[in-house]
Amino acid sequence: MSTPDSAPARAERLGDGTVAVRAGLPEPAKNEPTLPGPVFAAHFHLPGEVEGPYTYGRETNPTWTLLERAIGELEAPGQEGVDTVVFASGMAAVSAVLLSQARAGDTVVLPDDGYQALPLVREQLEAYGVHVRTAPTGGDAQLAVLDGARLLWLETPSNPGLDVCDIRRLVDAAHAGGTLVAVDNTLATPLGQRPLELGADFSVASGTKGLTGHGDLLLGYVVCRNAELAAGIRRWRKVVGAIPGPMEAWLAHRSLSTIQLRCERQWTNALAVAEALSGRADVSGLRYPGLASDPSHKTAAGQMRGFGSVVSFTLADRAHAERFMAATRLVEDATSFGGVRSTAERRGRWGGDAVPEGFIRFSAGAEDTEDLVADVLRALDVAGSTA
Ligand SMILES: *Cc1c(COP(=O)(O)O)cnc(C)c1O
């Protein structure tokens, strides 16, 4: 094959699947593999002066470099100056932004309905003298508490409630007041939503979920609007040492080549499950941003390119939800989401989210659509008939 154009130029005009299968790959070189294997090295040969890209394994690794390039191509195709930093987990990435950007006396605005570990980060921020304000994701409620803040944290769609806020509108208001904006893009994945294109300064995510999609590794990343912001995030990674192992980084890169295929099937399945659930009397509180009837649909449709694999709904009570979970055959009872095998859980069992006892967070996998919908409907019938 001939030498491809530079990655950004390529990404601008090609489809998501085409970009995904080549994202982050080095220029083709004779007798070299397409995707070089993981580089296992704590240190690199370093005679004389300390120079060059690879010196010590807590700071840099060639396997991360390729993965960071790949994620950047998917999150912000064609955008100049964007710089990505990978971490050992989503929480390592989340904490890197919040704890490195906020100083004692600063104010940070968080959603009050975000990921269940965010309240722990809040406690840590407050212990360091950072003021924290919160507001719900729905209705862009964070607009009302932005004044004078150093950083606005958005999570849209929110986990597990699937509320959506208007990223562009919140970014414009935040930037007008000198506030930086970070968006947790875990649920959408870079294929479903590109926060940097909507003006955000950071797009942060857990790569553990739909990004890698096989449920076999933990990973996190921060995509930064420019090198200056990225330098602070890299410095934090060096200080804290929350680095991904080369094997995880390589597996993640390999998984990215199928992200478009996985997302396409999983989003189709999520919508099909949501549509099937919407006709049922035993289901309440159904949420999926891709459903035209969903309260988030209009905002979601204006900024998302796909609506994700997660559907949430509520059954009568805890026992009913447990009977549903026990009756499914194709849906694993497990936490996490975004994987090729459908998973679901009664979210209230963790105690961390403000959800009803019968609340189910359902993640559509890559099964055949008819099989998955039939399994869900059959399990609901079983759960209802044995009450
Ligand atoms: C899972 C998740 C995280 C944390 O990711 P880990 O990889 O588990 O550390 C952060 N934000 C959201 C929205 C998540 O779903």
> H or E stretch including 359?
strand 359-363
- Ligand 1, atom 4, lies closest to the CA of 90
- Ligand 1, atom 8, lies closest to the CA of 90
Q: What integer is the mean pLDDT of 60-72?
A: 98
Mutate to test the pocket of ligand 1, among 98, 183, 189, 206 (most ligand atoms within 8 A of CB): 206
pTM (2 decimals)?
A: 0.96
Atom from ligand 1 closest to the CA of residue 91: 9
Residues 102, 108 contacting (CB under 8 angstroms): yes
Q: Is the CB of 90 under 6 A from ligand 1?
A: yes
Q: Is the CB of 339 under 6 A from ligand 1?
A: no
* Per-residue pLDDT at 238 exceeds 70: yes
Atom from ligand 1 closest to the CA of residue 93: 9
Report pLDDT digits (tens) over 248-287.
999 999 999 999 999 999 999 999 999 999 989 999 999 9
pLDDT at residue number 11: 46
pLDDT at residue number 6: 52
Residue 167 CA to ligand 1 centre (angstroms)? 19
Report pLDDT digits (tens) over 299-341.
999 999 999 999 999 999 999 999 999 999 999 999 999 999 9
Give the integer Cα–Cα distance in Å for 23 and 16: 10
Atom from ligand 1 closest to the CA of residue 220: 7
Atom from ligand 1 closest to the CA of residue 208: 7
- How many angstroms separate the Cα of 62 from the Cα of each of 35, 147, 179? 11, 42, 34
Res. 5 pLDDT band, cuts 50 70 90: low
Domain annotation for the chain: domains and CATH numbers: 15-256 (3.40.640.10), 259-385 (3.90.1150.10)
> H or E stretch including 363?
strand 359-363
